[in-house]
Amino acid sequence: MSSVTDSVIFRNIFSTPAISSIWSDTQRTSYYLLFEASLASVQADIGIIPRQAADAILAFCHVTNIDFDELRIQTEKIGYPVLGVVKQIVQNVNNLQPGLGEWAHWGATTQDVTDTATILQLRDTLNLISEALEAITSDLRRLCQTHKATLMVARSNLQQAVPMTFGFKMARLLATFERHKQRLAQIKSRLLVLEFGGAAGTLATIKDGRGFECQAALAKKLGLSVPEIAWHTERDRIAEVGGFFALLTGTCSKFATDVKLMMQTEVGEVSEPFYPHRGSSSTMPQKRNPISSVYITAMGATVRQLSTALYDAMVEDHERATGPWEIEWIVLPQICTLTHASLLNTSELIAGLEVHSDAMKRNLEITRGGVVSEAVMMGLAPKLGRQFAHDLVYELCRRSVQEDLPLLTLLCADDKVRESGLSKEELEGLCDPANYTGLSEEMVDRVLAATS
């Protein structure tokens, strides 16, 4: 195999059939042909080329008519596949009538065809991304509703911090994915733009002032926006979508990292969806590894690394570049395939996530009250002063660990605490994790209301 996305064994893990099809030689070449056919069609409509030539070009522009072995040979010789495609169009149309095929590719340049095909591939990719995001956010809403009040511990620097709810944790993730949906909508208007300007982008080959008319007609036929000006060496559009994919897979990786930590044997608060032998070990029969999360984090890290190459590709020379453009050819298919695979793995993980609320409750009790020490401190603060209360509770928490006693027991026995005037019932209330989730549930409701 040359890459995991091409591997018979790994390709449906690190890619998906749908996204692989979009970034295949067949689909890319189909979009080259779509560009050429659409260009010929609109140019015939406005009188730039003969209708007979346009009809013959359209008749040939089906990917089944392309000799891919010949295209490979021509690409290796020329360095770019577009001219090899154009040569096949010209030759086959000329066979119908000498000279008729010469009207193909009229006023276009290689990068016009290549960039527009890439934009069409990215449009298809974003449609898949959008579908995945809808599935993810739908299942996250369900988790938020189901576990709005499910108590668990929040963690800071991998240490127990304060109580919260699992619904609150999932609502934060839901809000993030909703922001990604907004980013996706915003990016489309900047990304889905035609490239058609000719050699240096000036449309000099389209005579009689019909360059803009031809450009607008071609954009409309392809379902793209008209560029305000050529963007052959202005690559912000491509870099932006690469950065978006890095953000998107970064969020997937953050969630997957939390799942890995929560699946640790000693924690056991969630599990990945189970089916026989999923995540099993070759030598330790008891193991149930967080394999989906492993793949998600690996793919996310790779996308972040590859996306930086797209920023390098922005540094292009003059009006047509000598090398940076080709960086996109190398990394963009990988970024897109890995991103879609990461999203589908994340979607499956969220849809089938096993939530162990009993373990969450048990873990809240591990510190014997330490998890609510902030609540106790703030309860004592109005009487004793916040800093004094902090230092007092700090010492009692240390004793709780050293003496293996509940914090509540030490609070009730402490003279300073008694001097505060807090009753035992009030101290019991402060030591109940259920009373110190803040606005967790209300924030869940707010996120759900905003995303419904």
Catalytic residues: 281, 320
Q: How far apart are CA 6 and CA 161, in angstroms?
A: 45
**Cα 96 to Cα 117: distance, rounded to the nearest angstrom:** 27
Backbone angles phi, psi at 363, to 5 degrees: -70, -25
The DSSP symbol for 225 reads B
CA angle 411, 416, 417 (to 5 degrees): 35
What is the distance between the terminal CA atoms of the chain, rounded to a whole angstrom? 45
Contact 280, 289 (CB under 8 A): yes
DSSP bridge partners of 155: 160
d(CA 53, CA 46): 13
Spatial separation of the C-alpha atoms in residues 417 and 392, rounded to whole Å: 9
At 383, which amino acid appears? Answer: K
CA separation, residue 452 to residues 21, 218, 449 (Å): 33, 38, 5
Beta-sheet pairing, 159-165 with 270-271: unpaired
Reference 39, options 209, 219, 193, 223; nearest CA is 219
- Dihedral Cα 300, 276, 20, 17, nearest 10 deg: -140
The span from the CA of 353 to the CA of 348, in Å, is: 8
Alpha-helix residue ranges (DSSP H) falling in 46-80: 51-60, 68-78
Tell me the C-alpha to C-alpha distance, in Å, between residue 163 and each of 120, 149, 229, 269, 394: 48, 11, 55, 14, 18
54's tokens: 């346009």
Q: Would you tell me how many other CB atoms lie within 10 Å of the CB of residue 264?
A: 10
Comparing C-alpha atoms, which of 440, 441, 277, 292 is closest to residue 353?
292
Looking at the chain, the number of H-run helices and the number of E-run strands are 19, 4
Q: Which distant-in-sequence residues (6+ apart) come within 8 Å of 233 by Cβ?
A: 316, 317, 318, 319, 320, 321, 325
